[in-house]
Amino acid sequence: MFSKILIANRGEIAVKIIEVCHSLGIKTVAVYSEADKNSLHTKLADESYCIGASPAKESYLNMKAIVSIAVACGAQAIHPGYGFLSENYEFAALCQENDICFIGPPPEILKNMGDKIIAKETMKNLGVPVIPGEFAENDISKIKSIAKKIGYPIIIKLRCGGGGKGIKIVHAEEDLEKAIIFAVDEGKNFFNSNKIYIEKYLTEVSHVEVQMLADKQGNVLCLGERDCSVQVNNQKIIEETPCAKINNIKRQELFSMCINAIQKTGYVGAGTLEFLMDSTGSFYFMEMNCRLQVEYAITEMVTNLNLIKLQILIAAGNPLPITQPQIKFSGFAIECRINFQNANFENIIKKLIIPKTESTRFDTFLYEGYNVPVFYDSLLGKLIVHGNTRKLAFKKMLSALNQLEIDGIGTNIETHKQILNNETFKNHSHNTNFMNLFKPYNKKYISARERVALLTDKNSFIEYDKDMISHDIIDFERYSEKLNHAMNSTSENEAVIYGTAKILGVDVVFFAMDGNFMMGSMGRVVGEKVTKAFELAIDKQLPVIGVCISGGARMQEGIFSLLQMAKTAAIVKKHSDCGLLYISIITNPTLGGVSASFASLSDIIIAESGSVFGFSGRRIIEETLNKKLPDTFQTAEYAQKHGMVDIVADKNELKGIISKILKIHERRFYGKDS
């Protein structure tokens, strides 16, 4: 057995590994970045060493620095945790070269099974169904050829990545190049790798993973499956085990298939086989994660096994202490990832109350007075509960969420409460699209997705360019933080969504703005997506229905934001010149750049009752004119009276009104070109 282990990680996983090592009588070594000098893992470890500056590339991804410290302090093994270098075969090889045990698979297995293309080919040869996909050199012409062969929509992934990073969904060829640039950039930043592969994008699926353990003697254990379908921006936020959507016959077939695959590949250590399960219950292999998963703790809850302890025992050459028939699965376990939201200038934990109830644990690195760094993943901790039934586990989790208090920073605790109370989730009829259909945040405005549900026919909306995101193009202070907060809190990548849809059977191009995303302010990507919506309508010769909301142009993008006004105005005119109809729907408030461009240029303007519509805010106009304006100024009713709005209606009346207008236009009762 090892006498000293270095933990090449941070946060809650570093804390948990240290706890397990100490329970085994093993001394621990922590490494940390400058930003993490006061982190809990540095206080709990027997020794702590700084390995570099705050950015991960200069610290937690610095292989040579980590191994050098391990050698210098006499550590016999390195536990990589998850993320960072946990699946990096070069790091595992470097450990091996320096006579240090890497607690995980050997380098050659990491290289093969950690490579998504080789892993898929391996599984395919073993009879495991896989999703169609191919490795793509970073050559745009070759990638276009692969995408055409597979068929759109496609998904771009990092060949050796994980954690939702570098993933882009592409619906059409014109969006491919930007998506590739995005994926490659994230690969370089998070994994020191820029290799990508292309895969067919499947919809209406559940994300199911199977936890495996294998020792050096060839013994293999399957520790059950986990449902990880609740995701925000491709990152899991709730996991549960067992998966309530799978019956026991399917479960045993899945387990047998996984055990056979792990045995034949000669895998060693902890790992998960990741699958997408379609509505028929068929499984398609995606990838293998050759490491401990964030959500490993729920497996511990239902098996009463300590996975980190077993990892260490396997690495030390011990055989697994139990066999498959000895594993007893008990009850249900759920994990809610408590994430950091809305960063401030200082992010200090002022108050921390952790639930102390039976069958509940909170794995975290937080303590009162701690200043949370903003350089890394947003995970603050994992709230995990166990219950004899899924219903009881839900009840316990809601109770634990109500008891958990983290004051001083923003979190997603309220989001979790609302998800757990959602009927679709409670009835286990959710899939990976769940968070796009259900908006469980405390929102000020009706969301863009709710507008889709309110105004278009059920399941008719086909979204385009979902993954277009804004960047800090003029290096505006803290703009990246604000964008990340907006994405995390709304589950959208920008303040507008668009696509094709039907309204009472009539085909349209539909776009809707979301005021919960930075007040729906006009930014570069907002302008680009609205422009693309009209281009799509021109190509398909369809009318456009646009739901508008805005708090003005986005100051953080300066001139790039203002330029969108001219761009969108020009495409609206081009659409009109084709004799096509455009109806804008004014919601509260619609002001500034949106108002002055595409919102006010439609053929028919419909305003929701009580909405505010104008080119500038009331206060600015009053200060400029040095006079008080009427109380009704800029209301929908005022705008209609003065000829700026054609129709004022309640939101529940809008679909019927739009449908009547579309029917008239469809039957050519009038012609715009006459």
pLDDT per residue over 42-79, tens digit each?
Answer: 999 999 999 999 999 999 999 999 999 999 999 999 99
In this structure, are 194 and 224 located in the same domain? Answer: no
In this structure, are 166 and 228 located in the same domain? Answer: no
Q: What's the confidence (pLDDT) of residue 670?
A: 44
291 is catalytic: yes
Q: What's the confidence (pLDDT) of residue 668?
A: 53
Which region holds residue 248: left if phi is over 0, alpha if psi is between -120 and 50, else beta? alpha
Of 146, 175, 200, the residue that ends a domain is 200
Is residue 672 in a domain?
no
CATH code where residue 191 lies: 3.30.1490.20
Q: What's the confidence (pLDDT) of residue 660?
A: 94
Q: What's the confidence (pLDDT) of residue 142?
A: 82
In this structure, are 172 and 269 located in the same domain? Answer: no
Percent of the chain at pLDDT exceeding 90: 62
Of 230-234, 276-280, 432-436, where does the model show the most confidence?
Answer: 276-280
Of 102, 120, 141, the residue that ends a domain is 102
In this structure, are 489 and 585 located in the same domain? Answer: yes
- Vertex 497: Cα angle to 492 and 499 (nearest 5): 140
**pLDDT-wise least confident of 304-308, 341-345, 350-354, 467-471:** 341-345
Is residue 570 in a domain?
yes
**227-265 per-residue burial string, b: 16 or more CB within 10 A, e: under 16:** bbbbbbbbbbbbbbbbbebbeeebbeebbebbbebbeeb
Is residue 221 in a domain?
yes
What is the band of 344 on the pLDDT scale with cuts at 50, 70, 90?
Answer: low
In this structure, are 193 and 214 located in the same domain? Answer: no
Is residue 281 in a domain?
yes
Answer yes or no: is pLDDT of 442 > 50.
no
Q: What's the confidence (pLDDT) of residue 306?
A: 98
Say whether the peptide bond before residue 153 is cis (omega within 30 degrees of 0). Answer: yes
Mean pLDDT over all residues of the chain?
Answer: 90
In this structure, are 166 and 74 located in the same domain? Answer: no
Which residue out of 10, 159, 226, 291 is catalytically annotated?
A: 291
DSSP letter for 201, please: P
In this structure, are 462 and 590 located in the same domain? Answer: yes
In this structure, are 164 and 86 located in the same domain? Answer: no
**pLDDT-wise least confident of 447-456, 616-625, 646-655, 664-673:** 664-673
User: Would the pTM of this model clear 0.75, i.e. be above it?
Assistant: no
Q: What's the confidence (pLDDT) of residue 390?
A: 97
Is residue 22 in a domain?
yes
**pLDDT-wise least confident of 1-5, 127-131, 162-166, 600-604:** 162-166
Selection from 459, 455, 467, 519 nearest residue 497 by Cα = 467
In this structure, are 195 and 234 located in the same domain? Answer: no
In this structure, are 634 and 496 located in the same domain? Answer: yes
Is residue 277 in a domain?
yes
In this structure, are 514 and 561 located in the same domain? Answer: yes
What is the band of 549 on the pLDDT scale with cuts at 50, 70, 90?
Answer: very high
**pLDDT-wise least confident of 358-372, 533-547, 638-652:** 638-652
Is residue 72 in a domain?
yes
d(CA 162, CA 168): 13
The domain in which residue 244 lies consists of: 206-339+381-390+412-426
CATH code where residue 570 lies: 3.90.226.10
At 292, is the secondary structure helix, strand, or coil? coil
Q: What's the confidence (pLDDT) of residue 674?
A: 43
In this structure, are 219 and 182 located in the same domain? Answer: no
**Under 8 Å between Cβ of 430 and 488:** no
Q: What's the confidence (pLDDT) of residue 441?
A: 46
Task: Provide the token pair at 422.
Answer: 């959602």
Is residue 371 in a domain?
no
How many domains would you assign to the chain?
A: 4
Of 200, 234, 254, the residue that ends a domain is 200
d(CA 414, CA 674): 55
Q: For residue 571, with 0-12 CB atoms within 10 Å meaning exposed, 13-18 middle and 19 or more buried, which class applies?
A: buried
